[in-house]
Amino acid sequence: RCFGYTTKPARQLYAIAQRELRDSNNRRVVLIAHSQGAIIASLVVDRLIASETTANLRKLELYTFASWANHMHGQGDLAHIEHFVNERDYATQTGILAYQPAVLPGNRYDGKIYINQAGIGHLLNMHYLSGTFAAGGAAVASQLATYLGGNG
């Protein structure tokens, strides 16, 4: 899973995110992660919270799909956090859903969680993007849904 080990992808993403957050021309930095990418994002967010100013952190919006991470911190630090979950996705059953509510002190999952009760499958394009924001679903009220079509 992660064991707090900062892998090369996590170090690279941290450097990119830090650069973008510190760029005064950026008023918003959006990070979208899927599956193992959410593990990497959770490690990066932890490092950013420890290293960045409040003003820089308030630029960061985080959105995860099928998160396999064992935690996601940032409530009150980041501008916005949302998670999109298919209830019958094995990755989410052993990831985000296994840690809600928090089972251990460090395993809390900050942010709004949108669970597609009928959702099955793990692939981003086929199982998540094709139906997550469908009319009538809870996720249509999400912040990320407001960006569809170039809005936001």
Label residue 4 by pLDDT band (50, 70, 90). low
Can you give the pTM of this predicted structure?
A: 0.92
Q: Are 92 and 85 in contact (CB under 8 A)?
A: yes
**Residue spans of beta strands (DSSP E) within the chain:** 29-34, 60-65, 80-88, 112-120
Each residue's pLDDT tens digit, 27-59: 999 999 999 999 999 999 999 999 999 999 999
Q: Are 151 and 133 in contact (CB under 8 A)?
A: no
Mean pLDDT of the 83-105 span: 88
pLDDT over 90 percentage in the chain: 70
- Three-state DSSP at 13 gives helix
Residue 126: Cβ within 10 Å count: 10
Q: Are 102 and 70 in contact (CB under 8 A)?
A: no
Where b means 16+ CB within 10 Å and e means fewer, 14-42 reads beebbebbeeeeeeebbbbbbbbbbbbbb
Average pLDDT, rounded, for the chain: 91
| Predicted local confidence at residue 3, as pLDDT | 57
Q: Is pLDDT above 80 for 104?
A: no
Q: Is pLDDT above 60 for 1?
A: no
Each residue's pLDDT tens digit, 64-76: 999 999 999 999 9
User: Domains plus CATH for the chain?
Assistant: 8-150 (3.40.50)
| Predicted local confidence at residue 102, as pLDDT | 67
